[in-house]
Homo-oligomer: A and B are copies of this chain.
């Protein structure tokens, strides 16, 4: 989170946004750091659309774009920073611009987003917090701009929607999400191949890590809480990178009866990154903030220092407190 901006942020309608984009000619599109399918899908769908209108467009991503998105990623233009119209897509806070925060953080002309937590750091904001993905917003915007959607735009948009909804699995899906997906299926998007890459493929290293992590499984509080641990040694041994670790967090909440999944990842000798995944009545952000971190209702995190045992002890103590305060009604006996 950044401090409040002194500049005011104007909330725009889709129509106003479409006009603004048509009026400008040189664009820099910024994605968030640790790029996912939604920020990249939004960025490149908008890139291809603006190219159709003969604009000059650069897409800048603070981190390397993972190989798996190559089916819709392309080289973009070189655009001079001075005078460029800067658009951030799916970027809720300027801190998420990573290495581009310093240069662009205070000069984003337009942010297109779906996060209700958007910090309004941009001059103009097109925000639809009911949209499952920023790509839903971009889809509506392209329609309003009378852009003729093609296969590659459809692939980019579908990727964003599919990845941000866990392939239409999560609570953020609405009738509109499925209606847009139906429209995108009219193009040659090969959705099954996209989904196979995004959801059904893991590296052999990750499978090996999974095996090691499963050995660490601990259950607490009448088996309502599961704790998984990833040590530096495991990461070294398997050669697994951080990219796949989100899946360990998901794993921690996947067992029947578990409403609090905890995964503890060692990042340094005495530093552990804690990921929390909860189901109602537990609120992950209550736990995260008590640990000095933060997050959302169902997913939160924090960084905790100490040796593994004391870190675990601390986390479990906080979970116990939050469980007792929640409407759960059951005692959180360890």
Contacts and interface: CB of A to CB of B under 8 A. Distances in A.
B167 A169 contact: yes
B204 A214 contact: no
B181 A169 contact: no
Given A169-B199, A179-B182, A199-B169, A223 B211 contact: no
Interface string A147-190: 00000000000000000001111110111111101110110000
Interface residues of A, number: 43
Nearest to A168: B168
A250 B200 CA distance: 9
Contacts of A210: 214
Nearest to A213: B211
A201 B256 contact: yes
A169 B195 contact: yes
Nearest to A185: B175
22 contacts: A168-B181, A169-B192, A169-B195, A169-B196, A169-B200, A170-B195, A173-B192, A175-B183, A178-B181, A178-B185, A196-B279, A200-B250, A201-B254, A201-B256, A202-B255, A202-B256, A203-B256, A204-B219, A204-B223, A204-B255, A207-B254, A211-B215
